[in-house]
Structure 1
Amino acid sequence: MSLPLLTAVTPQYEAQLTSKLGSSSVVHVVRRCADLAELLGASAAGVGRVAVVSADLRGLDRGAVQDLIDRDVLVLGVHRPDDEADERMLRRWGVRVVLPADAAQPELDAGLLALISTDPTGSAPHGAEVDHAGAGDPVQGAGTTERARHSPSEQEGLSQARGRFPTEDVGEKAPGDTGAGGHGFGHDRTGDGLPGDGQTGVPGQGGADRPHDQGQVVVVWGPVGSPGRTTVAVNLAAEAAEPADPVMLVDLDTYGAAVAQVLAVLDEAPGVAAAARAADKGTLDRSTLTGCAPEVSPGLRVLTGMPRPDRWTELREHALQDVLAQCAATVTLTVVDIGFCLEADEELSFDTTAPRRNGAALAALEVADQVVVVGSADPVALQRLVRGLDQLAAVTSAPTTVVVNRLRPGAVGKDPGRRVREALRRFANVDDVVLVDEDQVGLDAAVLAGRTLREARPGSPARTGLRELAGRVTGRELAPRRGRGRQRRTADV
């Protein structure tokens, strides 16, 4: 029995392509979808197991392809003949097998067989012979070969065409390309003149698997309230940043993004939204990313967050993971400021494919190498911190570093450092804590100037804890404190 197939192809090639697909012994056409919405609806209803989409289909993007893949639908992409740009775009969106729309019948059948050989469910159509020895057939995964029974002339055509479709794409890929369903952390970095090329992250950290030459992603999170997540994230990135060892600061707080205001970056559009749109279109690369992220001080670039909370729907999880993957391929350290809420709120509704308000935070935690957990040094905030650590453990297994901000005797009594450590050891079983002293005057002056503590108040007592945190995150000894910075803030790249 052949597999049921859906088509969603622009009219120019639909009739010709559908006729060839109808003659295939591998699949049979069950519906010709007029648009993307019909295709997604049919796939959600379980009508088809294979979908053929054209690169110029209106509304098609990485998110739509990922939705099909998540529903166990095998996706075959077609593009206009000799259109290499569309071919590369489909591959960036996660389409493993891509063909020109005018492909001959043997080539089309070979592409379908190659696609089916990647099926994780193992469902092959009737008449396909599976050889797990994998003896040299080009259409293969890790030792798996699919061979359909055809006439001798068809077999000859298939043999000539199969070499084009390795199960694992090995052709040219754009920086940060993710493959099907991945987050893109598996690609090497290539130099393009950016400072810090060839540097490595801290070895042995948790999070997503990636080569040693990929930068690390550090997520800064804290429970509800105002424990100082943004303050810690901004100054952590600033302390770690050097012209020869750059850092990317990403604002993914979908409730109250504030990095742009803290650093006085007056951009016309949020950088993270622009980067996410580029990832959805398959055009996100190094130059695009750096164009979205202005350099606010030597070695520190910022992807600003959404200026209005109601624009959270623009930040889809798959696109953000691509953005973070490109950040990791571009700089040695990416610091991500996320919102407080970690609830998977879409589980409360029937629409399990709906965008998630907290999807940005959850996507960042999914690929995090380290998580910095921020609490404040007062009884209410410490209680929230203890409960928040339990909540965080259910979301990520990445190593965590606990930071207690705004340490002061007025809130917890004499010897506040000892009292905070004892409370966290007793109620949260946390022995190692980074303490950041209260310096409201210094922080107010820094925010007023639109600068970091390192630039505006290098002698601030709060910098002692922040520099200790930066040293732990980077795994290197930081340079001695410098004098007052004189860099002029600019949003120009």
Structure 2
Amino acid sequence: MALQVVTAVTGAAWEAALVGALDRADHGVTVVRRCVDASDLLATAATGTAHAALLSADLHRLDVDTVTRLAAAGVAVVGLADPADARATERLHALGVATVLPADATPTEVAEALRRAVAGPVVAGHGVADPRAALPAAGGPHPQATERRPPRGRVVAVWGPTGAPGRTTVAVGIADEAARLGVPTLLVDADVYGGVVAQVLGLLDESPGLAGAARQAAAGALDEAALKRLAWSVRPQLSVLTGLARADRWPELRPPAVAAVLEEARRSADLVVVDCAFNVEEDEELSFDTAAPRRNGATVTVLESADDVLCVTGADPVGLQRTIRALGQLRDLLPDVEPAVVVNQVRPGPVPGDARREIGEAIERFAGRSVLSFLPADRAATDAALASGRTLAEVAPGSPLRAGLRTLAAALAQVPEPAPGRRGLRRRRAG
């Protein structure tokens, strides 16, 4: 049986000759449709009539989501690029197309590349909801992953259950303290339900921020320079990618694009701190019989990509119960992720007796995890910081909460913590 292929190659003089040559029986390839843009390509892929797609970098509306949805439909992808246009090849690789051939490749070479692409695994990932997403995923790396300059930064995901346990306070505090220790740091607001990092720091939340970076990543145009332009420079060692101005804009943060932003962020900062949403449910495949965006896919992508995951819990019975349940849900969804527990807002009253000991024993017993850090409650300091749009280090440098966050930041950034009363250590930026 001939391999059924759709083409999406626009504005190329060689396209007609290539299609005619591929249709010859001795190549074992049949072109079932010549698509005019990405929408036409996705509509054709959804019918199940094609095994592979042959596309060019200049295809109208081609982005990361298009390649991901083709994978979800079981369609392998091969790219064609003008040999004189090096940027076209780079863009196709950035969009997730692993196999890119020069446009002057022979029909035999193109047909062979299409057969190899179809024979390999096709993984949809967390970008869209699809009934096949409920099945076990194929092992190994994503078949469309590409090799780039090795990143140097570490990604720390700050996550936790619903109920305002203080995720943003912890994320902002860690990023600020790491920057004061001389570590080039990028703070990213990836909360798809109600990110407030911009407001906490007194920044303009209507700026493009993470959404702008995700759009550029989806188009294969994000690089270190573009990321720096989109990020607020709060101080010489601290930059911020603001979050969504409105929660209903969550479809702008597609998981493949978020993953690409984090990969680029590793190249621009030694420490990347990401404030995540609480929800990790993946029930869209139960609600839709067609491909649909995943609202929680961005959070799951961050947790999968992170080097360290901090689970922030409140220091009261309700918060602890929510945390234990959330940790169990996370373990079922991402068994390879090992979160570290940070108990925030520790104070006398909600837990009788020695609060630290009781909380530590409860988390060890019911969640099987030890506590990495206990952060004391300091309402006066956090209120002062919120009121002025500044950090704890600026409004309450002697706060015990600030001291706990500084210790935690030093451990995550893998730098020594300065002695009390000394200025932060300077760290030379690698690269």
**TM-score range, shorter-chain basis?**
0.7 to 0.9
1:10 corresponds to: 10
1:322-369 Cα offsets, whole Å, 9 max, x none, are 000111122221111111111113122234531111111011111121
1:290 alignment partner, SS class: helix
Contact 1:65 1:75 in 2 (8 A): yes
Letter in 1 for 2:257: A
Match of 1:227 in 2: 165
Deviations 1:184-210 (A, max 9, x none): 6x6334xxxxxxxxxxxxxxxxxxxxx
**Distance in structure 1 (CA, Å) of the matches to 2:109 and 2:421:** 63
Cα distance, 1:377 vs. partner?
1.1
Q: 1:122 to 1:346 in 2, by over 3 A?
A: closer
Where does residue 197 of structure 1 map in the other structure? Answer: none
Paired AA for residue 263 in structure 1: L
**1:410 match: secondary structure:** coil
C-alpha distance in 2, partners of 1:286/1:37?
A: 30
Question: Equivalent residue for 2:31?
Answer: 29
TM-score (norm. length: structure 2): 0.86
Shift in Å at residue 36 of structure 1? Answer: 2.4
Q: Which residue of 2 aligns with 1:54?
A: 56
Q: Does 1:332 align with 2:332?
A: no
Deviation at 1:115, TM superposition (A): 4.2
1:441 aligns with 2:380: yes
Matching residue of 2:94: 92
Q: Which amino acid aligns with 1:107?
A: T
Could you tell me how far 1:438 is from its partner in structure 2? 0.7
CA pair 70-120 structure 1, distance change in 2 beyond 3 A: farther
- Taking the aligned partners of 2:9 and 2:84, their CA distance within structure 1 comes to 17
- The answer as to 2:197 corresponding to 1:259 is yes
In the alignment, residue 389 of structure 2 is paired with which amino acid? G
Larger radius of gyration: 1
More helix by share: 2
The residue that corresponds to 1:420 in the other structure is: 359
Listed one character per residue, the Cα deviations across residues 303-327 of structure 1 (whole Å, up to 9, x for unaligned) are 1100100000000000000000111
Relative contact order, higher structure (CA 8 A, sep 6+): 2
Distance 1:281 1:431, change over 3 A: closer
Partner deviation per Cα, 1:206-237 (whole Å, 9 max, x = no partner): xxxxxxx6322111111011100000111011
Amino acid paired to 1:315: L
Which residue type is aligned with residue 249 of structure 2? R
Alpha-carbon distance in structure 1 between the residues aligned to 2:204 and 2:74? 43
Helix, strand or coil at the partner of 1:15: helix
Listed one character per residue, the Cα deviations across residues 20-50 of structure 1 (whole Å, up to 9, x for unaligned) are 3223614111222343223213223321112
Structure 1 residue 179, shift from structure 2 partner: 8.7
Instruction: Give ranges in structure 1 of 5+ residues lacking alignment.
Output: 124-177, 190-212, 486-493
Q: Match for 1:411 among 325, 332, 350?
A: 350
1:360-382 CA distances to partner (integer Å, 9 max, x unpaired)?
10111111211100111111111
Identity of paired residues, percent?
45
Greater CA drift, 3-12 or 375-384: 3-12
Q: How does 1:89-168 map to 2 (within 5 A)?
A: 89-99=91-101, 101=103, 103=104, 107-121=106-120
Cα distance in 2, alignment partners of residues 401 and 38 from structure 1: 46
Name which of structure 1's ranges 7-16 and 252-261 shifts more when overlaid on structure 2.
7-16
Q: Deviations over 1:387-443 (max 9, x none)?
A: 111112123322321111111112223432223223223332333341111101001
User: Cα distance, 1:269 vs. partner?
Assistant: 1.9
CA distance in 2, matches of 1:472, 1:120: 45
**AA partner of residue 36 (structure 1):** A
| 3-state secondary structure, aligned to 1:464 | helix
Choose from 394, 406, 411 the match for 1:455.
394
**TM-score, length-scaled by structure 1:** 0.75
Q: How many correspondences in the alignment?
A: 403
Deviation (angstroms), 1:292: 1.1
Determine the structure 1 residue equivalent to 2:144. Answer: 181
Query: Any residues of structure 2 matched to 1:339-358 within 5 Å, and which?
Result: 339-358=277-296
Quote how far apart the aligned CAs of 1:11 are: 5.6
* Conservation of the 8 A alpha-carbon contact between 2:154 and 2:270: yes
CA contact (8 A) 1:187 1:329 kept: no
Query: 1:368 maps to which residue?
Result: 306
Answer yes or no: is the 8 Å Cα contact 1:91–1:179 preserved in 2: no
Q: Would the aligned equivalents of 1:93 and 1:180 in 2 still touch at CA under 8 Å?
A: no
- Does residue 237 in structure 1 map to residue 175 in structure 2? yes
